[in-house]
């Protein structure tokens, strides 16, 4: 665990962003959910860690991430290929299925590496940013702060309904949200709930990334299907940005599928622009059971 943490930290420092996403990192820290497996690469037994790969079972899909330092991302270096082979082989042994290999800020080298493993370019995920505070627009709906120990089950029901077809967000359980609540960044005051007719209709969960210039993230935003089509998504984004500005954050950001034209246009209308794009390479692995 310590070696992997050091590798992740070193690669993050070199790349300017974390190479292992939060879902995967928490799986590693907490021992992994169903289907979890991790793989390390070394030149020889007991030698230094050259790379790391991790997989976990998501909502009707598998998620894979590979961590290799920049000096191993060169033509002819097969560390990433070997790690991918091991991870995809384990998926086959566990029954196979659809795979997402997530890569932040992908390059042509990653395109080629994924292709050698039989994976193709799939989802592109835009990170969009805008300055804070807002000017003019204000949220027109009432919100309240999340109450730990009271709101988890209602939130899980709304989240899983709102993201029923989403590969990463659609199958959260109580352990998943409690893990987030235990993280040092969790702030219930920035977890905003909007209720109608005695039900949780929509929510905006924010997160502050610390640093010399903190960045505030619209971490998860969702609207229950029974309340969609009424503009609640826009109002909850505004509420989240207002909260972030109120705690001194001067940059807001969020992630959105590049193919989700309606959402991208909504965020552009709120002043967001694309900062960079992450990518999922996808494929289907046959069972080898």
17-64 pLDDT, tens per residue? 888 877 777 777 777 767 789 999 998 877 899 999 999 887 778 999
Do residues 176 and 220 lie in contact, with contact meaning Cβ atoms separated by under 8 Å?
Answer: no
Residue 207 is predicted with a pLDDT of 97
**Residue 101: pLDDT over 90:** yes
Of 30-44, 180-194, 267-281, the least confident:
30-44
Q: Which fold has domain 2-124+279-285?
A: Aminopeptidase (3.40.630)
Residue 23 is predicted with a pLDDT of 74
**Residue 111: pLDDT over 70:** yes
Do residues 206 and 217 lie in contact, with contact meaning Cβ atoms separated by under 8 Å?
Answer: yes
Q: Give me the phi and psi of 257, to 5 degrees please.
A: -60, 130
Of 68-82, 143-157, 169-183, 262-276, the least confident:
169-183
**Residue 167: pLDDT over 70:** no
Tokens encoding 43? 């030149």
**Averaged pLDDT for residues 140-146:** 96
Residue 168 is predicted with a pLDDT of 66
Q: Give me the phi and psi of 39, to 5 degrees please.
A: -135, 140
Q: In percent, how much of the chain has pLDDT > 90?
A: 76
Closest CA to 276 of 215, 212, 233: 215
Do residues 106 and 119 lie in contact, with contact meaning Cβ atoms separated by under 8 Å?
Answer: no
Residue 202 is predicted with a pLDDT of 97
pTM of the model: 0.87
For the chain, what is the mean pLDDT? 92
Contacts of 233 (CB under 8 A, 6+ apart): 202, 221, 223, 266
Domain-by-domain residue ranges, the chain?
2-124+279-285, 133-249
**Averaged pLDDT for residues 108-132:** 96
**Residue 239: pLDDT over 80:** yes
**Residue 254: pLDDT over 80:** yes
Residue 156 is predicted with a pLDDT of 96
Domain 2-124+279-285 and domain 133-249, same fold? Reply is: yes
**Averaged pLDDT for residues 120-126:** 94
Residue 28 is predicted with a pLDDT of 74
CATH 3.40.109.10 fits 133-249, yes or no: no
pLDDT band at residue 264 under the 50/70/90 scheme: very high
Residue 232 is predicted with a pLDDT of 96
Residue 170 is predicted with a pLDDT of 61
Residue 181 is predicted with a pLDDT of 95
Give the pLDDT confidence of 193-207 residue by residue, as tens digits: 999 999 999 999 999
């Amino acid at each position: 665990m310590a070696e992997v943490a050091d590798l992740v930290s070193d690669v993050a420092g070199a790349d300017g962003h974390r190479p292992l996403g939060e879902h995967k990192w928490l799986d590693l820290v907490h021992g992994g959910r169903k289907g979890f497996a991790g793989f390390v690469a070394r030149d020889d037994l007991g030698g230094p860690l050259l790379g790391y790969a991790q997989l976990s079972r998501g909502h009707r899909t598998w998620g894979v991430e590979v961590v290799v330092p920049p000096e191993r991302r060169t033509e002819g270096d097969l560390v990433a290929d070997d790690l991918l082979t091991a991870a995809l082989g384990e998926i086959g042994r566990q029954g196979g299925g659809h795979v997402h290999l997530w890569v932040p800020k992908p390059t042509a080298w990653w395109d080629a590496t994924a292709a050698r493993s039989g994976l193709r370019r799939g989802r592109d995920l835009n990170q969009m940013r805008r300055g804070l505070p807002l000017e003019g627009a204000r949220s027109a709906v009432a919100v309240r702060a999340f109450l730990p120990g009271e709101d988890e089950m209602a939130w899980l029901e709304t989240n899983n309904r709102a993201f029923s077809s989403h590969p990463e967000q659609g199958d959260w359980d109580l352990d998943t949200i409690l893990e987030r609540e235990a993280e040092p960044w969790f702030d219930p005051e920035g977890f905003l709930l909007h209720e109608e007719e005695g039900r949780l209709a929509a929510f905006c969960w924010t997160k502050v990334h610390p640093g010399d210039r903190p960045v505030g993230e619209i971490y998860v935003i969702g609207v229950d299907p029974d309340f969609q089509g009424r503009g609640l998504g826009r109002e909850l984004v505004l509420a989240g940005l207002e909260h972030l500005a109120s705690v001194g954050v001067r940059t807001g950001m969020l992630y959105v599928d590049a193919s989700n034209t309606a959402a991208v246009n909504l965020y552009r209308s709120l002043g967001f622009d694309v900062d960079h794009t992450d990518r999922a390479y996808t494929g289907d692995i046959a069972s080898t059971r």
